[in-house]
Amino acid sequence: MLNLKRQRGIFKGLLLTTISRSATFKILTTQDMKIAIVTFFIFLLLDCSTATAYYADSAEVGTLSGLVVDKANKARIPGVTIRIQNTTIGAITNSAGKFNIKGVPLGVVILRVTSIGYTERIIPDVVISSGKPSQIVVELEESTLESNGTVVTANAFQRETESITSTTYFTAEEVRRAPGVQEDVIRAIALVPGVAVTTAGRNDLAVRGGAPFENLFIVDNIEIPNINHFGSQGSSGGPLSLINVALVNGVSVSTGGFGPKFGDRLSSVTNLTLKDGNSVRIAGEINLSATGFGVMADGPIGKSTTFFASVRRSYLDFIFSLAGLGFIPEYWDFNTKVTHEVDDFNKISFVGIGALDKVKFNNTAENLYKNSRVVAPSQNQYFTGITWRHLFSAGYSNVTFGRWYSDFSTIQQDSLGTNIFQTNSAEGENSLRADIVLNLSSNVELTGGLIGKFASTLKYDVIIPGYARLNSVGVPSPLTIDTSFTATKAAVYTQITFRALEFLKLTAGGRLDYFSFVNQSTNFSPRFSALLELSSNTNFTVSAGRYFQAPQYIWLVGSKANAAALKPLSADQIVGSLEWIAMPDLRIQVEGYYKSYANYPVRQFRPQAVLSPFGFDDVYSDIPFGLEPLSSTGTGNSYGIEFFIQKKLSQNSPFYGLISLTLNRTQFVASDSINRLGAFDTPFISTTAIGWRPNGEWEFSTKFRASEGLTYTPFITNEQRANETGFPVGSRDFSLYNQGGRLPFFYALDIRIDKRWFLSGVQIITYIDIQNLTGRKNVSGYQWNQQTLSIRTQESIGILPSIGINVAF
């Protein structure tokens, strides 16, 4: 009879073989899925039964080092006590604010950080590995007294200075372990209230009824229009983020009411901070996930410099080719960060992230028609930035020089394999940003900044046939463009935050934006917020402001008149929030919001509709990327109420999770003056995510998401209706824009199991993630089938299991 150790090896080999056969499981046979799932659970049970013997000979402790700084001025804090909860293990920071703790239990621990004059802080989800060294930077806030003399108690939730309402923070570990997210930082955002996902296979996010192009993404102080592979031009979505979650330190998501530091977007700000490389030794990781394979390395370069670098490649092209599928995607991405500590007051960091995305067609006789209804978006892109941070006695400053560049090559073919739609575009923008934070006193903080952007590369070569670009009365209007131009953006902002009373904090500021390429080029945005401390654990906050956003560059080439006709989009917003920290690890929040749109782009060829593009996939269905005449005459509003409960991991409970519920309504008025539901109107959105970590080795989690379907526009299905509208059979009937009803109710149940192994100098994390466990084929849209002259339902696939392995050493 085989001993347990050998049994474990056999099952591991079988599991890895199944992974290598079908890593994404999107084209698995039923037998493959059963083998993978059953093998994993047998391995799970065997490992549980032999856990004691298995870990007896391995090192069961690790080391945690880090730095503690003042959140207001980033100054290093000596004498801070850092303790691992539920243990007597800890350390005190030295004169440089640094600490090093040895003998830390392996797995995921919780820190309690205390210092005289600062609010105590609890930090959950600190990963201690037997492989790569663990490091952390902790920010502490000066403590304040409530009116009754009590000190604010510690909790596991942090508040962002720039956004006091509608803001949620996720650690990298929370993103990595979330079921159904595929370790994608953008998909994780859909967990928060007010965020709707347009389709199951993409991460185009509609925040509080707004279009995906209204979302701002910032990576280490660099503003990026789209951080996705195969990104939608002129929007912000795509199927997968190009940011490796291993490089992410944390993600802050604000869905409204953000301060004047952020602008040129109407709906949301997602701020990603990246890790520095560890300063102890060269370490590495190997990752095999549901979508690709990656290698990573980080460590010191000399005494004062660290680096982090990763390379990932998808293997979807191999799998899709073997399966004979017609649509074959391939991608690479490259992430790097280098940080140099000049001295205790100056730090310079460099970030470089790039991606190579390619789609090709396998045009067999069977695939030709299927491929004719799919756009192939190949894309090469990168963004880079250099940031200098300088500390001084009253605050700090950041200066960032950045550049982003995207080269788009998008085609669609007919059923004979001939290109009928083609765009070759290049967009590149250079930016210089300077921000300063001044602490005028313990109760007054002044911030300000300057932003300059120059789009030095804007080149567009576009061909759209007339039958795919019909005007408002159905007359073909072909478009052929070969043009280039430049554009300039600039902004200045300031904000003051002060404690008017012991229980009242006020923030007021404004932002002035300049856009060189549109009418109404100069725009002022006032912002205001107030935080009323009802008790030591209950706050009421309100924020209000005006927000402007420049039209997307590609919209300018849809018509010669667009540059003169378009103005910056605007939205006036007010948000009210009641937050109760029921326990140090539990917060309950209720928010209400109202958003009023103006100068929204209206489609002159579709006068019933405002422009609301997202994941474009078929030139026969609609005109792509806003390449049509537009005018800034649209108005709209969005309002709703959100309920949010968030539970962090703590010493009192091994459970964590969140529950969010959103009730929302979004409406727009276009050229025909009729008030219609918005393209992203989602009256009901609910997400429940629950996790259980019984010990440092095992983790079990599940997520259930449900929402009402989006509105859709019906098709013209007969000649009589075609004659009435002037559009051919199979076209969308825009006279009934968004009046075709709703897509069926959406719901999906995901589960995930994570297992950590701690060996000598190596940590292995394996997981199985089963998406859509109920097998429901959610409808993402409808498409006209020209072969059968009928409507085809676009459905997601059923159960989608995937397995991942990460080895750190």
Q: How far is CA 547 from CA 17, 219, 252, in A?
A: 53, 21, 19
Mean pLDDT to the nearest integer, 678-695: 95
Q: How far is CA 785 from CA 199, 741, 793, in A?
A: 20, 20, 10
pLDDT reported for residue 323: 74
Sign of the CA dihedral with 723 first, then 724, 727, and 728 last:
negative
pLDDT band per the 50, 70, 90 thresholds, residue 162: low
Yes or no: say if 67 and 657 are a contact pair by the CB < 8 Å rule.
no
pLDDT reported for residue 315: 85
pLDDT reported for residue 129: 87
Give the integer Cα–Cα distance in Å for 326 and 420: 18
Yes or no: say if 599 and 569 are a contact pair by the CB < 8 Å rule.
yes
Q: Please, where are the H alpha helices in 252-407?
A: 316-322, 368-372
Helices (H), strands (E): how many in the chain? 9, 41
pLDDT band per the 50, 70, 90 thresholds, residue 161: low
Using the CB atoms, write b or e for 688-724: b if 16+ within 10 Å: bbbbebeebbbbebbbbbebbbbbbbbbbeeeebbee
What tokens does 565 get? Answer: 């006709």
pLDDT reported for residue 6: 39
* 3-class secondary structure per residue, 395-446: EEEEEEEEEEEEEEEEEEECCCCCEEEEEEEEEEEEEEEEEEEEEEECCEEE
pLDDT at 13 exceeding the cut of 80: no
Of 233, 66, 36, nearest to 134 by C-alpha is 66
Mean pLDDT to the nearest integer, 535-546: 95
Mean pLDDT to the nearest integer, 624-634: 95
pLDDT reported for residue 152: 54
pLDDT reported for residue 360: 87
Using the CB atoms, write b or e for 111-133: b if 16+ within 10 Å: bbbebeebbbbbbbbbbbbbbbb
Name the β-bridge partners of 158.
none
Residue indicated by tokens 């782009």: 601
pLDDT band per the 50, 70, 90 thresholds, residue 317: confident
pLDDT band per the 50, 70, 90 thresholds, residue 9: very low
pLDDT at 292 exceeding the cut of 70: yes
Percentage of the chain lying above the pLDDT 90 cut: 70
pLDDT band per the 50, 70, 90 thresholds, residue 81: very high
Q: How far is CA 105 from CA 62, 89, 200, in A?
A: 6, 9, 38
Give the integer Cα–Cα distance in Å for 313 and 308: 17
Mean pLDDT to the nearest integer, 228-243: 91
What backbone torsions phi and psi does residue 273 show, to the nearest 5 degrees? -105, 140
pLDDT reported for residue 144: 64
Mean pLDDT to the nearest integer, 295-309: 96
Give the integer Cα–Cα distance in Å for 676 and 670: 8
What tokens does 700 get? Answer: 């079990």
pLDDT at 507 exceeding the cut of 50: yes
Q: pLDDT digit string (tens) for 414-438? A: 888 889 999 999 999 999 999 999 9
Q: How far is CA 782 from CA 590, 594, 730, in A?
A: 35, 31, 11
Give the integer Cα–Cα distance in Å for 76 and 95: 8
Mean pLDDT to the nearest integer, 764-780: 94
pLDDT band per the 50, 70, 90 thresholds, residue 370: confident
What tokens does 296 get? Answer: 């990573």
pLDDT at 133 exceeding the cut of 70: yes
* Burial label, 524 (beta-carbon count in 10 A; 0-12, 13-18, 19+): exposed
Mean pLDDT to the nearest integer, 67-96: 92
pLDDT reported for residue 200: 74
User: What's the chain's average pLDDT?
Assistant: 88
pLDDT reported for residue 322: 79
pLDDT at 149 exceeding the cut of 80: no
Indicate the range of 57-66, 122-131, 135-144, 495-504 predicted with least confidence: 57-66
Which value, in Å, is the radius of gyration of the alpha carbons in the chain? Answer: 27
pLDDT at 27 exceeding the cut of 70: no
Q: pLDDT digit string (tens) for 446-478? A: 999 999 999 999 999 999 999 999 999 999 999
pLDDT reported for residue 49: 39
Give the integer Cα–Cα distance in Å for 197 and 217: 17
What are the percentages of helix, strand and coil residues in the chain, rounded to 5?
10, 55, 35
Displacement of CA 48 from its chain's centroid (Å): 35
**What is the model's pTM?**
0.90
Yes or no: say if 754 and 765 are a contact pair by the CB < 8 Å rule.
yes
Q: Give all strands of the β-sheet with 268-274 in edge-to-edge order.
A: 167-171, 248-254, 268-274, 215-219, 222-224
pLDDT at 43 exceeding the cut of 70: no
Yes or no: say if 460 and 423 are a contact pair by the CB < 8 Å rule.
yes
Name the β-bridge partners of 341.
347
Length of the chain (residues): 809
Query: Hey, which of 157-161, 191-195, 793-797 has the most confident mean pLDDT?
Result: 191-195
Mean pLDDT to the nearest integer, 250-255: 94
